[in-house]
Amino acid sequence: MRKPTGIPTLLLAACLAGLAASPVNSETATTAAPMKTPWTVNYHDGNGNGFRFWRDFKNKEVQFEYIPVRPDESSSGRYSGGEKKKGHLDGPGVQELWQWIGRLQTDASIQTNARAMGTGAFSLVHESRTENFIVKDGSQLREFNEFLGALLRKASGDEAPPAKKPIENPLPIYPNAVQDRERSGATSIDPGRNYTVAIYSVKSPLADVLQFYETRLKNFQRSNDQDGSIKLTGKSGYVRLIQSGSGTQIQIVEGPQ
């Protein structure tokens, strides 16, 4: 599975190049679908999977394509965002897309300048103007991802969301760890490949938490990342431990469901 913090350079170069140069202006932000002029919306989720929506002079219909992360682009070498897909949006779908964009673009409280784990990166091109913004991981972004997931299922001829299967042998939770439910959730919008991320914090030092997991996860491989975190990876997912000022942050990633 792809590291949430890793982003494919080729996929995001155009989307992120202008972030510093073109900050969002809430007074000029587009909140309704442009009906008569060409436009493009580029979006990349927390795993780097990309969506492109566009309308041009040649086509009256709004088209979209889904550009998933390939295993050779992922940091683990195993994560895949699924298959490429193409489709089109009907009138209500176009309006819903732009309603979502307007809501996410104009709410400064959910935006950030850092392209971090779980965030969503947007680039809007309309009338020779480009606007870029990044939305924090949270309930609104996850609902937007669910909207995109429904588009993928419709493009695949499957209107119903995939049934979730219980995770076999779930990874253990450190005693007295407190879950950050706002940041926990699914890490992929591709049907059938939803990985569950649960983020916890605990006041215990990293060494004690590491000993707890190494004792219980015998077949997991340990690796040390450049940011100082420790990762234990197995077939069912991975556990990442990060030293914080007040203790340890625990990221448990399992799936797919």
Task: Residue count of the chain, please give it.
Answer: 257
Confidence (pLDDT) at 9: 35
Q: Are residues 126 and 39 in the same domain?
A: yes
Q: Kindly state whether residue 162 falls inside one of the protein's structural domains.
A: no
Spatial distance between the Cα atoms of 139 and 143, rounded to a whole number of angstroms: 6
Mean pLDDT of 219-232: 88
Q: Are residues 117 and 206 in the same domain?
A: no
Q: pLDDT category, 207, cuts 50, 70, 90?
A: very high
> Each residue of 11-24: pLDDT tens digit?
333 333 333 334 44
Which domain range does residue 35 map to? 9-155
Q: Are residues 185 and 145 in the same domain?
A: no
> Each residue of 71-100: pLDDT tens digit?
888 766 777 888 889 888 888 888 999 999
> Each residue of 161-176: pLDDT tens digit?
555 555 566 889 999 9
Determine the straight-line distance between the first and last CA of the chain, rounded to whole angstroms.
13
Lowest mean pLDDT of 124-128, 202-206, 247-251, name the range: 124-128
pTM attached to this predicted model: 0.58
Confidence (pLDDT) at 4: 40
